[in-house]
Amino acid sequence: MTRIGNKFLNLKKDKEKALVPFFFAGDPDLKTTYQLVLAAERAGADIIELGIPYSDPLADGPVNQAASARALKNGIRLKDIFSLVEDIRKVSNIPIAFLLYFNCIMQYGMTRFLSDCVSAGVDGLVIPDLPYEERERYKPVFAQYNVDIIPLVTPASKERIKKIVADSGGFVYCVTSSGVTGVRRSFGTDFAAFMRDVAQFTDTPKVLGFGISTPEQVAELKEHAEGVIVGSAIVALMANSNPANLIGDFSGFVALLKSALR
């Protein structure tokens, strides 16, 4: 079991729900990312989802695209992000998942990538452009490493849910609504029914994400899942924050989100 699995066991014992903040490694630079991860942990975050900057992020809206582009402009490489995680692991055990597009793994080399995840201390992977039809082929390789492959289900997945969540690890990423990442005012999804559909096929913790941006939304959605992911709202806050206040603004927002979960 990875740190993610252990975290959910502890949360369950304490009757708590997971707050999973998302932001990009290297936005605006790796030193800041290091500080943000530790600040998030102090502010009550349970798991960190780190975006790996990519040139063509198909599942992302404008806010995340811009953040990705900012990080890439600084010449960030995957190997630097692994070093970042190694540095974090010297001082923190907070579970870390990467969100990255499949081509990054493929070009880095799948076995090299997975073994670097294990040795650096990356616990899980969210790969938005690897649906189960394609994942099937790589399953034997994934299975050799203690890294959770976190599947995504959407309200449109319906009859696909069973296959998607089979052998899921860490958590199931439940996408709130159609479309790409980005702040939404409302979701238009019947969450009770959606989550019941997912729960029918797996005991893996379910975490809601995509468009969740305010403490009010967090409070509204918490009854439906074991946790929530807040991404674009954090990324936008970082983009708009005065660099001198960034860590403070960020920590304050994370703390607000966590208190909304309680």
Partner 1 sequence: MNRKGYFGDYGGMFVPETLMHSLHELEDAYEASKQDETFQQQKDYYLKEYAGRETPLYYAEEMTKALGGGKVYLKREDLNHTGSHKLNNVIGQMLLAKKMNKTRIIAETGAGMHGVATATVAALFGMKCEVYMGREDVERQGLNVFRMRLLGADVHPVKTGTATLKDATSEAIRDWAANYQDTYYVIGSVVGPHPYPQMVRDFQSVIGRETKRQMLEKEGRLPEYLIACVGGGSNAMGLFYPFAGDADVRMFGVEAAGLGIDTPMHAAAVAKGSPGVLHGMLSYFLQDGDGQILPVHSISAGLDYPGVGPEHAYFHDSKRAAYVAVTDDEAVEAFKFLSRTEGIIPALESAHAVAYAMKMVPGTEKGDIIVVNISGRGDKDVEIVARHMGVDLK
CA angle 124, 217, 123 (to 5 degrees): 5
Contact set for partner 1, span 116-135 (CB under 8 A): 128-131, 133-134
The closest of 228, 196, 57 to 127, measured between CA atoms, is 57
Half-sphere exposure of 188 (CA within 13 A, CB side): 6
- Using DSSP's 3-state secondary structure scheme, residue 188 falls into coil
Which residues within the stretch 196-255 sit at the binding site for partner 1 (CB under 8 A)? none
Task: Give CA–CA dist 2/10, Å, rounded.
Answer: 13
Rounded to whole angstroms, the Cα distance separating 1 from 56 reads 32
- Is 190 a catalytic site residue? no
72 binds partner 1 (CB under 8 A): yes
Residue number with CB closer to partner 1 (62 or 248) = 62
Is 158 near partner 1 (CB under 8 A)? Answer: yes
Which lies closer to partner 1 via its Cβ, residue 19 or residue 229? Answer: 229
Q: Strands across the sheet with 124-126, in order?
A: 148-150, 124-126, 96-99, 48-51, 18-24, 227-230, 206-209, 172-175, 152-153
What does the DSSP 8-state code read for residue 93? -
Report 49-68 residues binding partner 1 (CB under 8 A): 54-56, 58-62, 65
Site string for partner 1, 4-33 (x = CB under 8 A): ------------------------------
Set 41, 49, 116, 148: catalytic member: 49
Structure tokens at 24: 């990009």
By beta-carbon proximity to partner 1, the closer residue of 5 and 26 is 26
Work out how close the CB of 255 gets to partner 1 at its nearest, in angstroms, rounded to a whole number. 31
Q: Is 49 a catalytic residue?
A: yes
Q: Does the footprint of partner 1 cover residue 104 (CB under 8 A)?
A: yes
Beta bridge mates, 153: 174
Select 160 or 222, whichever has its Cβ closest to partner 1: 160
Residues that bind partner 1 (CB under 8 A): 54-56, 58-62, 65, 69, 72, 77-78, 101-108, 128-131, 133-134, 151-154, 156-158, 160, 164, 175, 178-180
Catalytic residue set: 49, 60
